[in-house]
Amino acid sequence: MRITRVKPLAVLALTLSLCSAAMAQDEPPKTDAEQAPAGQAQGFGPRKKAPAQAAQKRPPLPKVENVATHGAWSIQCTESQANAEQGSEAGKACGMTQQGKSEKTDKVALSVIVNKVKRGDKSAVFMRIMAPVGVYLPTGIPVEIDGAALPSRMVFTRCIPPICEAMGEMSPETLGKFKKGGASTFYLYDRPGNGYPIKISLDGFGAALAALDKL
């Protein structure tokens, strides 16, 4: 899986929108006493008890719409001004997504988002991983497909509380493995040597990827 620094605004808006929607679905309602800044109350690892900071107001994220389901993957779309400025038709951007939690603890979870970016007559496929703040960044994210490790790890590119983001452009070889595979495992670390395996089903991966071309 090749790592790239290309980050179109439309893709970023979609990524943050889908991630926020996924976290909102997984979190139960909070009491007033639990309304701490995101990333502090639910973080993990060495930085989970970081000093409290004043919460910053953020602009509302675009509305996310579930448009289709293929196996374990949901296809979601969002419309925003950022998408329109980047040339997306009607400001619309779509991606396929799935969430998973570690069997060790439900406090460690991630969201996987796959989307396509047009480059002239061709398109590139990107995979983004959204993990909670507090992950051990130097380790990156090792990935296995049906028990076989991919040759390279996904690299964290930045953190925007409450999440840290890893992103990679999927090579044709890597795409082929995901399409043919049955299950994948992503590993998050909170310190060297202490990993949290998170299983992500590949059921419907190929169908969902093909459906993105029609949106």
**Each residue of 25-53: pLDDT tens digit?**
444 444 444 444 333 434 555 555 555 55
How much is the pLDDT for 40? 40
CA pair distance 88, 90, nearest whole angstrom: 6
Rounded to 5 degrees, what are φ and ψ at 6? -70, 120
CATH fold of the domain at 9-30+60-212: Immunoglobulin-like (2.60.40)
Residue closest to 200 by CA, chosen among 139, 70, 116, 112: 112
Q: Which of 11-15, 46-50, 102-106 has the lowest mean pLDDT?
A: 11-15
Q: Which of 30-44, 113-127, 186-200 has the lowest mean pLDDT?
A: 30-44
Q: For residue 119, what pLDDT is reported?
A: 82
How confident is the model over 133-165, as pLDDT tens digits? Answer: 999 999 999 999 999 999 999 999 999 999 999
Instruction: Give the integer Cα–Cα distance in Å for 110 and 99.
Output: 6
pLDDT of residue 76: 96
Whole-number Cα distances in Å, 111 to 71, 143, 159: 16, 14, 14
Residue pair 179/169 in contact (Cβ under 8 Å)? The answer is no
Is the pTM higher than 0.75? The answer reads no
Q: Are 183 and 146 in contact (CB under 8 A)?
A: yes
Q: Which residues is 183 bridged to in the sheet?
A: 201
